[in-house]
Structure 1
Protein backbone atom coordinates (compact mmCIF):
# COMPACT_ATOMS: atom_id res chain seq x y z
CA UNK A 1 0.00 0.00 0.00
CA UNK A 2 1.28 3.45 -0.90
CA UNK A 3 1.88 6.45 1.29
CA UNK A 4 -1.27 8.25 2.46
CA UNK A 5 -1.99 11.74 1.15
CA UNK A 6 -1.47 13.13 4.66
CA UNK A 7 1.89 11.42 5.14
CA UNK A 8 3.00 12.59 1.68
CA UNK A 9 1.84 16.16 2.36
CA UNK A 10 3.63 16.29 5.72
CA UNK A 11 6.83 15.00 4.13
CA UNK A 12 6.68 17.56 1.30
CA UNK A 13 5.87 20.49 3.60
CA UNK A 14 8.55 19.51 6.10
CA UNK A 15 11.15 19.19 3.35
CA UNK A 16 10.33 22.62 1.94
CA UNK A 17 9.74 24.57 5.16
CA UNK A 18 11.30 23.07 8.30
CA UNK A 19 14.92 24.16 7.79
CA UNK A 20 14.46 27.44 5.91
CA UNK A 21 11.26 28.70 7.57
CA UNK A 22 10.85 26.89 10.91
CA UNK A 23 8.16 29.24 12.20
CA UNK A 24 6.14 28.80 9.01
CA UNK A 25 6.57 25.04 9.46
CA UNK A 26 5.29 25.31 13.05
CA UNK A 27 2.25 27.24 11.79
CA UNK A 28 1.60 24.65 9.08
CA UNK A 29 1.74 21.83 11.61
CA UNK A 30 -0.68 23.70 13.88
CA UNK A 31 -3.07 24.29 10.98
CA UNK A 32 -2.91 20.57 10.16
CA UNK A 33 -3.64 19.70 13.81
CA UNK A 34 -6.73 21.95 13.67
CA UNK A 35 -7.78 20.21 10.45
CA UNK A 36 -7.40 16.78 12.04
CA UNK A 37 -9.78 17.95 14.76
CA UNK A 38 -12.45 18.57 12.11
CA UNK A 39 -12.33 15.05 10.67
CA UNK A 40 -15.75 14.09 12.06
CA UNK A 41 -17.34 17.05 10.26
CA UNK A 42 -15.60 16.46 6.92
CA UNK A 43 -16.16 12.73 6.47
CA UNK A 44 -14.52 11.48 3.29
CA UNK A 45 -12.70 14.81 2.78
CA UNK A 46 -10.98 14.78 6.17
CA UNK A 47 -7.62 13.60 4.82
CA UNK A 48 -7.78 16.07 1.94
CA UNK A 49 -8.32 18.90 4.42
CA UNK A 50 -5.37 17.83 6.59
CA UNK A 51 -3.13 17.55 3.52
CA UNK A 52 -4.17 21.01 2.30
CA UNK A 53 -3.68 22.41 5.79
CA UNK A 54 -0.11 21.20 6.13
CA UNK A 55 0.72 22.34 2.57
CA UNK A 56 -1.17 25.65 2.47
CA UNK A 57 1.96 27.79 3.05
CA UNK A 58 4.50 25.69 1.14
CA UNK A 59 4.75 28.48 -1.45
CA UNK A 60 6.64 30.60 1.07
CA UNK A 61 9.69 28.37 0.61
CA UNK A 62 12.31 30.61 -1.00
CA UNK A 63 13.11 28.13 -3.76
CA UNK A 64 9.43 28.10 -4.81
CA UNK A 65 8.84 31.86 -4.77
CA UNK A 66 8.32 32.45 -8.49
CA UNK A 67 5.73 35.21 -8.23
CA UNK A 68 6.18 36.04 -4.55
CA UNK A 69 2.50 35.20 -3.96
CA UNK A 70 2.66 32.04 -1.85
CA UNK A 71 -0.76 30.50 -2.70
CA UNK A 72 0.00 30.63 -6.43
CA UNK A 73 3.63 29.57 -6.06
CA UNK A 74 2.69 26.68 -3.76
CA UNK A 75 -0.11 25.46 -6.02
CA UNK A 76 2.14 25.56 -9.09
CA UNK A 77 4.81 23.60 -7.22
CA UNK A 78 2.33 20.94 -6.13
CA UNK A 79 0.84 20.66 -9.61
CA UNK A 80 4.05 20.86 -11.64
CA UNK A 81 6.58 19.03 -9.45
CA UNK A 82 4.30 16.54 -7.74
CA UNK A 83 1.27 16.10 -9.99
CA UNK A 84 -0.83 16.53 -6.84
CA UNK A 85 -4.56 15.95 -6.64
CA UNK A 86 -6.43 18.79 -8.37
CA UNK A 87 -8.73 19.49 -5.42
CA UNK A 88 -5.74 19.68 -3.08
CA UNK A 89 -3.92 22.08 -5.39
CA UNK A 90 -6.99 24.28 -5.77
CA UNK A 91 -7.45 24.41 -1.98
CA UNK A 92 -3.84 25.49 -1.49
CA UNK A 93 -4.14 28.08 -4.28
CA UNK A 94 -7.28 29.61 -2.83
CA UNK A 95 -6.78 29.26 0.91
CA UNK A 96 -8.00 32.03 3.19
CA UNK A 97 -9.53 34.20 0.48
CA UNK A 98 -6.37 34.30 -1.62
CA UNK A 99 -8.35 35.70 -4.56
CA UNK A 100 -8.68 38.99 -2.69
CA UNK A 101 -4.93 39.18 -2.10
CA UNK A 102 -4.30 38.11 -5.69
CA UNK A 103 -6.41 41.07 -6.78
CA UNK A 104 -4.23 43.41 -4.69
CA UNK A 105 -1.20 41.93 -6.47
CA UNK A 106 -2.66 42.07 -9.98
CA UNK A 107 -2.75 38.24 -10.11
CA UNK A 108 -6.47 37.49 -9.68
CA UNK A 109 -7.07 36.52 -13.31
CA UNK A 110 -4.02 34.26 -13.30
CA UNK A 111 -5.10 32.54 -10.07
CA UNK A 112 -8.71 32.11 -11.23
CA UNK A 113 -7.63 30.74 -14.61
CA UNK A 114 -5.05 28.26 -13.30
CA UNK A 115 -6.77 27.25 -10.08
CA UNK A 116 -10.52 27.92 -9.98
CA UNK A 117 -12.06 28.10 -6.53
CA UNK A 118 -13.64 24.81 -5.51
CA UNK A 119 -17.42 24.80 -5.31
CA UNK A 120 -17.26 22.98 -1.97
CA UNK A 121 -18.11 25.61 0.64
CA UNK A 122 -17.61 23.52 3.78
CA UNK A 123 -14.19 22.30 2.65
CA UNK A 124 -13.05 25.81 1.62
CA UNK A 125 -14.39 27.30 4.86
CA UNK A 126 -12.75 24.57 6.92
CA UNK A 127 -9.31 25.46 5.56
CA UNK A 128 -9.96 29.15 6.29
CA UNK A 129 -11.01 28.18 9.82
CA UNK A 130 -7.87 26.11 10.42
CA UNK A 131 -5.50 28.77 9.06
CA UNK A 132 -7.20 31.73 10.69
CA UNK A 133 -7.47 30.15 14.14
CA UNK A 134 -3.79 29.17 14.34
CA UNK A 135 -0.94 31.50 15.38
CA UNK A 136 2.32 31.80 13.45
CA UNK A 137 3.80 29.48 16.10
CA UNK A 138 1.14 26.81 15.57
CA UNK A 139 -1.02 27.49 18.62
CA UNK A 140 -4.82 27.89 18.66
CA UNK A 141 -6.17 31.45 18.62
CA UNK A 142 -9.30 33.31 17.62
CA UNK A 143 -9.88 34.62 14.12
CA UNK A 144 -10.04 38.20 15.45
CA UNK A 145 -6.66 37.81 17.19
CA UNK A 146 -5.16 36.21 14.08
CA UNK A 147 -6.36 38.96 11.75
CA UNK A 148 -5.01 41.60 14.16
CA UNK A 149 -1.68 39.75 14.36
CA UNK A 150 -1.37 39.63 10.55
CA UNK A 151 -2.17 43.32 10.18
CA UNK A 152 0.28 44.17 12.97
CA UNK A 153 3.06 42.03 11.51
CA UNK A 154 2.77 43.40 7.97
CA UNK A 155 1.54 46.92 8.73
CA UNK A 156 -1.86 48.42 8.09
CA UNK A 157 -0.76 50.18 4.90
CA UNK A 158 1.02 47.19 3.38
CA UNK A 159 -0.45 45.07 0.61
CA UNK A 160 -1.12 42.26 3.09
CA UNK A 161 -2.55 44.72 5.61
CA UNK A 162 -4.99 46.03 3.00
CA UNK A 163 -5.90 42.48 1.96
CA UNK A 164 -6.50 41.22 5.51
CA UNK A 165 -8.74 44.18 6.35
CA UNK A 166 -10.70 43.61 3.17
CA UNK A 167 -10.93 39.85 3.74
CA UNK A 168 -11.69 39.96 7.46
CA UNK A 169 -15.52 40.00 7.14
CA UNK A 170 -15.29 36.95 4.87
CA UNK A 171 -12.81 35.26 7.21
CA UNK A 172 -15.02 35.83 10.25
CA UNK A 173 -18.07 34.57 8.35
CA UNK A 174 -16.26 31.40 7.22
CA UNK A 175 -15.04 30.72 10.77
CA UNK A 176 -18.57 31.24 12.10
CA UNK A 177 -20.00 28.82 9.52
CA UNK A 178 -17.50 26.12 10.51
CA UNK A 179 -18.13 26.69 14.21
CA UNK A 180 -21.89 26.39 13.59
CA UNK A 181 -21.36 23.18 11.60
CA UNK A 182 -19.27 21.76 14.44
CA UNK A 183 -21.97 22.53 17.00
CA UNK A 184 -24.57 20.89 14.76
CA UNK A 185 -22.45 17.72 14.36
CA UNK A 186 -23.40 14.73 16.50
CA UNK A 187 -20.53 13.70 18.72
Structure 2
Protein backbone atom coordinates (compact mmCIF):
# COMPACT_ATOMS: atom_id res chain seq x y z
CA UNK A 1 0.00 0.00 0.00
CA UNK A 2 1.32 3.44 -0.82
CA UNK A 3 0.27 6.92 0.21
CA UNK A 4 -0.50 8.60 3.49
CA UNK A 5 -3.44 8.68 5.84
CA UNK A 6 -5.37 11.11 3.63
CA UNK A 7 -5.53 8.51 0.85
CA UNK A 8 -6.31 5.53 3.09
CA UNK A 9 -10.07 5.49 2.43
CA UNK A 10 -9.63 6.13 -1.29
CA UNK A 11 -7.11 3.28 -1.62
CA UNK A 12 -9.34 0.97 0.40
CA UNK A 13 -12.31 1.78 -1.82
CA UNK A 14 -10.28 1.13 -4.99
CA UNK A 15 -8.95 -2.20 -3.73
CA UNK A 16 -12.38 -3.32 -2.56
CA UNK A 17 -13.94 -2.40 -5.88
CA UNK A 18 -11.33 -4.41 -7.76
CA UNK A 19 -11.78 -7.50 -5.61
CA UNK A 20 -15.43 -7.37 -4.55
CA UNK A 21 -17.34 -5.60 -7.35
CA UNK A 22 -17.21 -8.73 -9.54
CA UNK A 23 -19.08 -10.57 -6.77
CA UNK A 24 -22.32 -8.67 -7.42
CA UNK A 25 -24.55 -8.55 -4.36
CA UNK A 26 -21.54 -8.69 -2.01
CA UNK A 27 -20.38 -5.38 -3.52
CA UNK A 28 -23.73 -3.77 -2.67
CA UNK A 29 -23.25 -4.90 0.94
CA UNK A 30 -19.68 -3.57 1.14
CA UNK A 31 -20.63 -0.16 -0.27
CA UNK A 32 -23.49 0.16 2.21
CA UNK A 33 -21.29 -0.90 5.16
CA UNK A 34 -18.74 1.76 4.20
CA UNK A 35 -21.53 4.33 3.93
CA UNK A 36 -22.85 3.27 7.34
CA UNK A 37 -19.43 3.72 8.97
CA UNK A 38 -19.38 7.31 7.74
CA UNK A 39 -22.42 7.80 10.01
CA UNK A 40 -20.79 5.91 12.88
CA UNK A 41 -17.54 7.89 12.91
CA UNK A 42 -18.89 9.94 15.83
CA UNK A 43 -18.66 6.78 17.97
CA UNK A 44 -14.86 6.64 17.66
CA UNK A 45 -12.00 9.07 18.25
CA UNK A 46 -11.62 11.50 15.38
CA UNK A 47 -8.19 10.08 14.55
CA UNK A 48 -9.70 6.60 14.16
CA UNK A 49 -12.49 7.59 11.77
CA UNK A 50 -10.50 7.02 8.57
CA UNK A 51 -9.36 3.62 9.76
CA UNK A 52 -12.94 2.64 10.51
CA UNK A 53 -14.15 3.62 7.05
CA UNK A 54 -11.16 2.00 5.33
CA UNK A 55 -11.72 -1.25 7.25
CA UNK A 56 -15.38 -1.17 6.22
CA UNK A 57 -14.41 -1.01 2.55
CA UNK A 58 -11.99 -3.91 3.04
CA UNK A 59 -13.85 -6.18 5.46
CA UNK A 60 -15.12 -8.63 2.81
CA UNK A 61 -12.26 -8.66 0.28
CA UNK A 62 -11.42 -12.20 1.39
CA UNK A 63 -14.48 -13.44 -0.50
CA UNK A 64 -12.65 -12.70 -3.76
CA UNK A 65 -11.53 -15.92 -5.44
CA UNK A 66 -8.31 -14.06 -6.33
CA UNK A 67 -7.20 -14.07 -2.68
CA UNK A 68 -9.59 -16.51 -0.95
CA UNK A 69 -7.18 -19.37 -0.30
CA UNK A 70 -8.63 -20.80 2.93
CA UNK A 71 -12.26 -19.95 2.07
CA UNK A 72 -12.50 -18.13 5.43
CA UNK A 73 -12.85 -14.54 4.27
CA UNK A 74 -11.66 -12.65 7.39
CA UNK A 75 -8.38 -14.60 7.39
CA UNK A 76 -7.87 -14.43 3.62
CA UNK A 77 -8.58 -10.71 3.53
CA UNK A 78 -6.29 -9.95 6.47
CA UNK A 79 -3.43 -12.00 5.04
CA UNK A 80 -3.71 -10.23 1.70
CA UNK A 81 -3.72 -6.82 3.37
CA UNK A 82 -0.77 -7.71 5.61
CA UNK A 83 1.20 -9.07 2.66
CA UNK A 84 0.59 -5.92 0.63
CA UNK A 85 1.64 -3.51 3.38
CA UNK A 86 -1.60 -2.15 4.85
CA UNK A 87 -1.46 -0.67 8.37
CA UNK A 88 -1.67 -3.31 11.09
CA UNK A 89 -4.80 -1.87 12.68
CA UNK A 90 -6.71 -2.17 9.38
CA UNK A 91 -5.44 -5.72 8.89
CA UNK A 92 -6.50 -6.69 12.42
CA UNK A 93 -9.95 -5.12 12.03
CA UNK A 94 -10.54 -7.10 8.84
CA UNK A 95 -9.28 -10.29 10.50
CA UNK A 96 -11.61 -9.95 13.49
CA UNK A 97 -14.69 -8.22 12.10
CA UNK A 98 -18.14 -9.42 13.14
CA UNK A 99 -17.30 -12.36 15.33
CA UNK A 100 -14.68 -13.95 13.09
CA UNK A 101 -13.08 -15.60 16.10
CA UNK A 102 -16.19 -17.72 16.64
CA UNK A 103 -16.29 -18.91 13.06
CA UNK A 104 -12.52 -19.55 13.12
CA UNK A 105 -13.08 -21.87 16.07
CA UNK A 106 -15.83 -23.75 14.21
CA UNK A 107 -13.58 -24.10 11.16
CA UNK A 108 -10.50 -25.18 13.12
CA UNK A 109 -8.65 -21.98 12.13
CA UNK A 110 -8.15 -20.40 15.55
CA UNK A 111 -4.35 -20.70 15.37
CA UNK A 112 -4.28 -19.10 11.93
CA UNK A 113 -6.53 -16.21 13.00
CA UNK A 114 -4.30 -15.67 16.05
CA UNK A 115 -1.66 -14.33 13.63
CA UNK A 116 -3.63 -11.10 14.06
CA UNK A 117 -4.21 -9.37 17.42
CA UNK A 118 -7.84 -8.74 18.39
CA UNK A 119 -8.35 -4.96 18.10
CA UNK A 120 -11.01 -4.85 20.82
CA UNK A 121 -12.47 -1.38 21.30
CA UNK A 122 -14.67 1.32 19.81
CA UNK A 123 -13.45 0.96 16.21
CA UNK A 124 -14.12 -2.79 16.08
CA UNK A 125 -17.47 -2.22 17.79
CA UNK A 126 -18.47 0.36 15.16
CA UNK A 127 -17.33 -1.90 12.30
CA UNK A 128 -19.38 -4.74 13.76
CA UNK A 129 -22.43 -2.48 14.02
CA UNK A 130 -22.06 -1.28 10.44
CA UNK A 131 -21.65 -4.81 9.08
CA UNK A 132 -24.40 -6.35 11.18
CA UNK A 133 -27.01 -3.67 10.53
CA UNK A 134 -26.53 -3.93 6.76
CA UNK A 135 -28.20 -6.74 4.86
CA UNK A 136 -26.60 -8.86 2.15
CA UNK A 137 -27.82 -6.56 -0.64
CA UNK A 138 -26.96 -3.33 1.18
CA UNK A 139 -30.33 -2.72 2.80
CA UNK A 140 -30.47 -1.24 6.32
CA UNK A 141 -31.66 -3.80 8.87
CA UNK A 142 -31.70 -4.21 12.63
CA UNK A 143 -29.10 -6.36 14.32
CA UNK A 144 -31.70 -9.02 15.14
CA UNK A 145 -32.95 -9.07 11.54
CA UNK A 146 -29.39 -9.52 10.25
CA UNK A 147 -28.59 -12.38 12.62
CA UNK A 148 -31.90 -14.09 11.80
CA UNK A 149 -31.07 -13.76 8.10
CA UNK A 150 -27.64 -15.34 8.65
CA UNK A 151 -29.09 -18.21 10.69
CA UNK A 152 -31.76 -18.79 8.02
CA UNK A 153 -29.26 -18.67 5.15
CA UNK A 154 -26.85 -21.23 6.65
CA UNK A 155 -28.18 -24.65 7.71
CA UNK A 156 -27.76 -25.72 11.36
CA UNK A 157 -24.69 -27.89 10.68
CA UNK A 158 -22.79 -25.16 8.83
CA UNK A 159 -19.86 -23.55 10.68
CA UNK A 160 -21.34 -20.07 10.12
CA UNK A 161 -24.64 -21.06 11.71
CA UNK A 162 -22.88 -22.72 14.63
CA UNK A 163 -20.60 -19.72 15.17
CA UNK A 164 -23.53 -17.32 15.39
CA UNK A 165 -25.14 -19.35 18.16
CA UNK A 166 -22.19 -18.23 20.30
CA UNK A 167 -21.34 -14.90 18.69
CA UNK A 168 -24.85 -13.42 18.74
CA UNK A 169 -24.90 -12.06 22.32
CA UNK A 170 -21.27 -10.90 22.18
CA UNK A 171 -21.73 -9.00 18.93
CA UNK A 172 -24.98 -7.53 20.28
CA UNK A 173 -22.86 -5.91 22.99
CA UNK A 174 -20.65 -4.32 20.31
CA UNK A 175 -23.78 -2.79 18.78
CA UNK A 176 -25.06 -1.65 22.18
CA UNK A 177 -21.74 -0.01 23.07
CA UNK A 178 -21.65 1.80 19.72
CA UNK A 179 -25.21 3.04 20.20
CA UNK A 180 -24.22 4.34 23.64
CA UNK A 181 -21.16 6.10 22.23
CA UNK A 182 -23.29 7.69 19.51
CA UNK A 183 -25.82 8.89 22.07
CA UNK A 184 -23.03 10.39 24.19
CA UNK A 185 -21.61 12.17 21.12
CA UNK A 186 -24.93 13.89 20.31
CA UNK A 187 -24.86 17.67 20.60
CA UNK A 188 -26.60 18.85 23.75
Q: TM-score w.r.t. structure 1 length?
A: 0.94
Superposition CA RMSD, Å: 1.3
- In 2, Cα distance between the equivalents of 1:164 and 1:185? 30
Task: Give the match for residue 24 of structure 2.
Answer: 22
Aligned to 1:109: 111
1:155 — aligned with what? 155
Aligned-pair distance for 1:65? Answer: 1.2
Structural mapping, 1:1-187, within 5 Å:
4-19=7-22, 21-42=23-44, 43-80=46-83, 82-112=84-114, 114-119=115-120, 121-187=121-187
Does the Cα contact within 8 Å between 1:133 and 1:143 map onto a contact in 2? yes
Query: Structure 2 unaligned runs (5+)?
Result: none
Cα distance in 1 between the residues matched to 2:143 and 2:67: 28
CA displacement at 1:12 relative to structure 2: 0.1
Contact 2:43 2:122 in 1 (8 A): no
Contact 2:43 2:126 in 1 (8 A): no
Encode CA deviations 1:97-130: one digit per residue, 9 max, x unaligned: 1111101111112111x111024x1111111101
Superposed CA deviations along residues 79-108 of structure 1, whole A, max 9, x for unmatched, are 11x210100000000001111110111111
Report the TM-score, using the length of structure 2 for normalisation. 0.93
Count of aligned pairs: 183
Runs of 4+ residues deviating >3 angstroms = none
Deviation at 1:64, TM superposition (A): 1.0
